Amino acid sequence: MPGPQQRGPRRPLSVRGPRPAARTGGNSRVRIAVGRILLIGALLIAGVKLVQVQGIQADELADQAKKQRTTRLNIPAERGSILDRNGNQLAFSIEVRALYILPQRARKTWDEARAKEPEKYPLSYDDHMREVAKFISSTLGPEVNGEKTDEESVYQQLVKDISYEVLVSEAEPAKAAKIVEKYPAEIGSEYRSKRIYPNGDLASNIIGAANWRQDEKPPTVQGILGLESAQDNVLAGRMGRRVVDTMSGDDTLIIPNTERELVKPQPGKSLELTIDIDTQYAVQRMVTDYAKKSGAKNASAVVLDSRTGEIVAMANDKTYDPTDFGKANEDQLRNGAVSSSFEPGSVNKIVTAAAAVEYGLFKPDDVLQVPGSLKVADRVIRDAWTHNTVPMSFTGVFAKSSNVGTLLAAQEVGKERYAEMLQKFGLGRRTQSGVPAEEAGVVPPLNQWSGSTFGNLPIGQGLSMTLLQMTGMYQAIANDGVRIPPRLIRAEIGEEGARSEKPRPEGVRVVSKETAKTVRDMFRSVTQSDPRDPNQNGTGAKAAMPGYQIAGKTGTAQQIDPTCKCYSQSQYWITFAGILPADNPRYVVGIMLDAPHGTQFSASAAPLFHDIATFLTQRFQVPMSAEQTPFVQLQM
């Protein structure tokens, strides 16, 4: 390579040639060497830096890198179903998809793409969205579960000036997939789960409601009311989790082979209830009808299996649609059979009867001289009908529901033994039945009794109980003196049908078997009717069923008048509790009507018992009693 010319006029001609040449060559060699050193040196410096990055700092930087890619994905756990005793579904979950769009972003992307390649995107964003709306509407139909999906309303959503818009929240997965496949750039689809209640408002007061909660973290179906809420932990199961690496900016695009820390989802367990769906339906309908007929503010009925204490049906006249519980009012949401307590009235007389028989104080055919009134402390108690002192059989005292006669018997029993009996019957405490929102009722403790308390409790005033507790008392008598706390949940069904039965609660011996039978037999007379002598009529003659012995008790309790804080003379709790059939008990039915008035059905719940019992005998093919209820002389 030629270099700067070196002139050497003093040098001899012979040496002039080689010297500059050597110099040029030398210069060129040096420059090439310098070039080499610079280039290779630069690469070496990069190499040194690489050693630092890939060796020394590698772990620290790699950790940061891993963090930014990691996405935790929740694998939704399937929520358990709620089944009746025969495996019919009362509530179950299905998978659905929410379709959404990011309208602002979609518009921006579309306009940019269109500006770049106008021939590929001939339509404007709005026109394009018309097409999209048309496709969505034709795929989904005009409406999905109350959400409008006709072309115009979808179009309006698509072109909204908003960052995020859910088009449909409960689309079928197959249809959603079809839409997303056609318009992947615009429409997104999201997993949702939907709770289905195939029977509508049937038993909704018990089952409650669950729905998709988008605000939960992570979003999931959550029980809001009733069993769905109370048993949420069992039903919900546990979400699975996996950790994956995902593409930057798109957490749904998983980089292959990066799945790790896999935790399988644990599907929720299904609950098998003791409810029989058909009975529940019939009872619910009858209760609703009767509440209307009788003009009652509220009405409830409970059907227990007398041998197991299982709740076969529990109905209220007011229910709600679980898929739209937001519209329901307080009364509809309440399960009156367990969450409202009331004074039971004469139904409570069974405590006195059982105690008196248990302690051998009276036999059914003992005759009592019942005066027209009885003074207890500062109160004078009368019967529902005016009479002078009349001789009544012990059975007759209860069949005719004589307050005075009952109190006479109670006084024989004594306060302590009576209080103890109340406790044995399970009053004043929750039954632990598993029905959500259960009340305990109020029984004044013995040491707080005033003088008149013992004049009130035996006739069912001054204490309160729920309908379930009331029915439970009769279950004890029906089940030969052993009270089995009522229950609602029979079994939990886990994965692959693994069924784990809930242990049957421990029975409580209330009275002896003989006492129970005696009391049952005595209470049969409540349904007795004698067309020749009205004095021999029981109070619940309308509950009687041909072919079956029915033991039961009517009740009428005065409600508290909120204006005077005294017992009202116009508003009553009308109750009834009955055993079907009395000679071989299978079912116990409890009924409560809250303040019925104004109709011929307002005075008694016995006709409703009759209807329910009739249904039960047919539904469960209850064999007829071997003999008719024998006639008993009630009033001498």
Asked if 53 interacts with another protein (CB under 8 A), we say yes
Q: Minimal distance in Å, beta carbon 177 to another protein?
A: 17
Closer to another protein by CB, 244 or 338: give it: 244
Please calculate the CA angle 484-490-494 and round it to the nearest 5 degrees.
150
Q: Site for another protein (CB under 8 A): which residue of 10, 42, 400, 634?
A: 42
Q: Is-catalytic flag, 248? A: no
Asked if 94 interacts with another protein (CB under 8 A), we say no
Task: Give the interface size with another protein as a residue count (CB under 8 A).
Answer: 59
- B/e letters for 116-143, b = 16+ CB within 10 Å, e = fewer, are eeeeebeeebeebbbebbebbbebbeee
Pair type for strands 270-273 and 82-83: parallel
Closer to another protein by CB, 37 or 566: give it: 37
Number of other residues whose CB lies within 10 A of the CB of residue 71: 18
What phi and psi, each to the nearest 5 degrees, are found at residue 489? Answer: -100, 120
Closer to another protein by CB, 56 or 560: give it: 56
Phi-psi map region of 389: left, alpha, beta (phi>0 left; psi -120 to 50 alpha): beta
Q: Scanning the structure block, which residue is given the tokens 């007759």?
A: 396
Please list the residues that pair with 590 across neighbouring strands: 302, 577
Q: Minimal distance in Å, beta carbon 140 to another protein?
A: 24
The one-letter amino acid at 471: T
Asked if 248 interacts with another protein (CB under 8 A), we say yes
Q: Site for another protein (CB under 8 A): which residue of 10, 49, 320, 383?
A: 49
Asked if 115 interacts with another protein (CB under 8 A), we say no
Give, as one character, the DSSP assignment of residue 434.
S
- Choose one: 252-260, 261-269, 486-494, 543-551; the region binding another protein (CB under 8 A): 252-260
Q: Site for another protein (CB under 8 A): which residue of 9, 68, 236, 619?
A: 68
Asked if 184 interacts with another protein (CB under 8 A), we say yes
Asked if 246 interacts with another protein (CB under 8 A), we say yes
Closest CA to 360 of 255, 511, 142, 209: 511
Number of other residues whose CB lies within 10 A of the CB of residue 473: 27
Asked if 55 interacts with another protein (CB under 8 A), we say yes
Residues between 12 and 41 with contacts to another protein, criterion CB under 8 A: 13, 16-18, 20-22, 24-25, 27-29, 31-32, 35-36, 39-40
Measured between alpha carbons, how far is residue 148 from residues 104, 130, 138, 153, 197 in Å? 22, 16, 12, 7, 21
Q: Site for another protein (CB under 8 A): which residue of 163, 257, 386, 563?
A: 257
Closer to another protein by CB, 64 or 621: give it: 64
Asked if 50 interacts with another protein (CB under 8 A), we say yes
Asked if 163 interacts with another protein (CB under 8 A), we say no
Catalytic residue among 340, 346, 464, 625: 346
Q: Site for another protein (CB under 8 A): which residue of 58, 123, 262, 384?
A: 58
> SS3 for 603?
coil
Asked if 9 interacts with another protein (CB under 8 A), we say no
Which tokens go with 384? 């529902």
Q: How far apart are CA 579 and CA 544, in angstroms?
A: 11
Q: Scanning the structure block, which residue is given the tokens 């060559």?
A: 25
Q: Site for another protein (CB under 8 A): which residue of 119, 215, 250, 416?
A: 250
> SS3 for 491?
strand
Closer to another protein by CB, 24 or 88: give it: 24
Q: How far apart are CA 414 and CA 457, in angstroms?
A: 12
Closer to another protein by CB, 18 or 141: give it: 18
Q: How far apart are CA 557 and CA 561, in angstroms?
A: 12
Q: How far apart are CA 287 and CA 298, in angstroms?
A: 9
C-beta separation of 280 from 316 below 8 A: no
Q: Site for another protein (CB under 8 A): which residue of 177, 255, 262, 560?
A: 255
Q: Scanning the structure block, which residue is given the tokens 């709770």?
A: 195
Q: Site for another protein (CB under 8 A): which residue of 10, 12, 60, 534?
A: 60
Q: Minimal distance in Å, beta carbon 3 to another protein?
A: 4
Closer to another protein by CB, 52 or 233: give it: 52
C-beta separation of 577 from 591 below 8 A: yes
Asked if 253 interacts with another protein (CB under 8 A), we say yes
Residues 6+ apart with CB under 8 A from 319: 201, 202, 203, 204, 205, 284, 332
Q: Minimal distance in Å, beta carbon 98 to another protein?
A: 23
Half-sphere exposure of 507 (CA within 13 A, CB side): 19
Asked if 64 interacts with another protein (CB under 8 A), we say yes
Summarize as ranges the residues that interact with another protein (CB under 8 A): 1-6, 13, 16-18, 20-22, 24-25, 27-29, 31-32, 35-36, 39-40, 42-47, 49-51, 53-55, 57-62, 64-66, 68-69, 184-185, 245-250, 253, 255, 257-258
List active site positions: 346
